[in-house]
Amino acid sequence: MLGDTQAYDAAVLDIGLPALSGLEVLKRWRTSGRTLPVLLLSGRCGWVERVNGLNAGADDYLEKPIHSEELVARLRSLLRRASGKPDPTIRHGDIEIDATAGCVKRSGQPVELTALEFRILEYMMHRLGRIVSQDELLDHIYAVNDLRDSNTIEVYVARLRRKLGRETIRTIRGMGYRIG
């Protein structure tokens, strides 16, 4: 299972998995020390199921059918809490990013970004002061089976520098990029 071997920011875990129940997977993750935020999905409704899921270590619980907007909002909330930043707006210097509204400002002025530029910037802003490798960025912006090209990251970082200022994103040779 990918959750056992990959480092993810969060997981959406369905209780009704075919081979092993989602609750069992979650219990194994927690027993092994995995602390990533987990949102459980279930077609079973009722307070007993929610309590069992939360007691097993889930951070949130959604009953099916779900609305994609609510799922995304709950995931953003989990990620904000996990990063210790409950405010949806992240600031660094004169740059401000509001993930909920999907907007970026520099010195109070809106900055137009493409979807991938936004995702890269948001990911890096949540990791201020940390080095983020190209592989980590590729994992974040592309699905598992997508074709990946590290030059893509270089292109998007160059575009972000043009839009936000060259000094915003530093290259750490042989390691990756850092904001802050």
Q: Which residues contact 139 (CB under 8 A, 6 or more apart)?
A: 6
Q: Which CATH class is domain 89-178?
A: mainly alpha
Residue type, 65: P
Overall average pLDDT of the 150-154 stretch: 82
Q: Is the pLDDT of residue 171 over 60?
A: yes
pLDDT value for 150: 64
**Greater model confidence, 117 or 5:** 117
- Of 41-45, 158-162, 165-169, least confident by mean pLDDT is 41-45
Q: What is the pLDDT of residue 168?
A: 94
Sequence-ordered list of residues with C-beta below 8 angstroms from that of 118, at least 6 positions apart, any chain:
97, 102, 104
Residue 179: its pLDDT value, please?
94
pLDDT value of position 159: 96
Distances in Å between the Cα of 42 and the Cα atoms of 35, 66, 96 are 21, 10, 36
pLDDT of the residue at 39: 93
pLDDT at 148: 63
Do 118 and 126 touch, CB atoms closer than 8 A? no
Q: Give every strand in the sheet of 89-92, ordered side by side.
A: 89-92, 95-98, 103-106, 109-111
Residues in the chain, overall count: 180
Mean pLDDT of 104-132: 92
The CATH number for 2-82, chosen from 3.40.640.10, 3.90.1150.10, 3.40.50.880, 3.40.50.2300, is: 3.40.50.2300
- Look up residue 81 and give its amino acid: R
pLDDT tens digits, 64-110? 888 888 888 888 888 877 776 666 788 899 999 987 788 999 999 99
Residue 161: pLDDT band (50, 70, 90) is very high
pLDDT in tens, 12-70: 999 888 888 888 999 898 888 888 899 999 887 778 888 888 888 899 999 988 888 88
Domain assignments of the chain as residue spans, ordered by start:
2-82, 89-178
Give the pLDDT of residue 145.
56
